[in-house]
Amino acid sequence: MDSLTVQAIFFYIFAALIIGSALLVVLLRNIVRSAFALFFTLFGVAGIYILLGADFVGVTQVLIYIGGVLILIVFGVMLTHNVYSVDIFNKLGTLVMGTVSAIITFTIIYYSIKPVSWLYIGYKADLPTTGPIGTQLMTNYLLPFELASVLLVLAMVGAAYLIRSEVRESRHKGAADQRSKIQSTVEGKGN
């Protein structure tokens, strides 16, 4: 049980990091600081994954949530107007709604975790997890995996289409403007 105690100490360190920074995300007045506080929450979750021996999931958590999602969130926050004067945290309605949704989320997670009979498989961080995950994705879970990739392709096509139509319009517009300008100068010279 000794290794469990060491693991428990690390678990409490990561749990304190997660809860503390999550409280900062909710309570900070400045929304950009909230977004950056989310960094420590996501990093703590990655730490918990690695503590459980799920090294692949932990590293993927850092790669996708910090390298991708968090940067998108920060970009989104920076592009909002009046970043320094957001006072959405003071409205009572948000507090009530937030409490209700927090209780609902907690209930769902609690009752989905409780009936599972968890067994402790010991500290197995040395075993590679990448191979089994890959095999499972390519055999038992092929359909969900392929569906997820189809979803991503659709999102990419949509993004490309949105940008492309704008470019096409502006290019047509720009070309037309230039043509009329040239025509007017030519006519001006002719006169």
Binding residues for other proteins (CB under 8 A): 2-3, 5-6, 9, 30, 32-33, 36, 39, 55-56, 59-60, 62-63, 66-68, 70-71, 74-75, 78, 126-130
Minimum gap (Å) between residue 56 Cβ and other proteins? 5
Minimum gap (Å) between residue 90 Cβ and other proteins? 20
CA 47 to chain centre: 17
Instruction: State which residue, 22 or 77, has the beta carbon closest to other proteins.
Output: 77
Instruction: State which residue, 33 or 91, has the beta carbon closest to other proteins.
Output: 33
Q: Is 38 exposed, middle or buried (0-12, 13-18, 19+ CB in 10 A)?
A: buried
Minimum gap (Å) between residue 6 Cβ and other proteins? 5
- Alpha helix ranges (H) inside 114-141: 130-138
Instruction: State which residue, 53 or 89, has the beta carbon closest to other proteins.
Output: 53
Give just the sign of the alpha carbon dihedral 1, 110, 18, 24: negative
Minimum gap (Å) between residue 5 Cβ and other proteins? 4
Instruction: State which residue, 67 or 190, has the beta carbon closest to other proteins.
Output: 67
Backbone angles phi, psi at 174, to 5 degrees: -60, -45
With vertex at residue 181, the alpha carbon angle to CA 177 and CA 186, rounded to the nearest 5 degrees, is 150
Give CA–CA dist 22/42, Å, rounded.
9
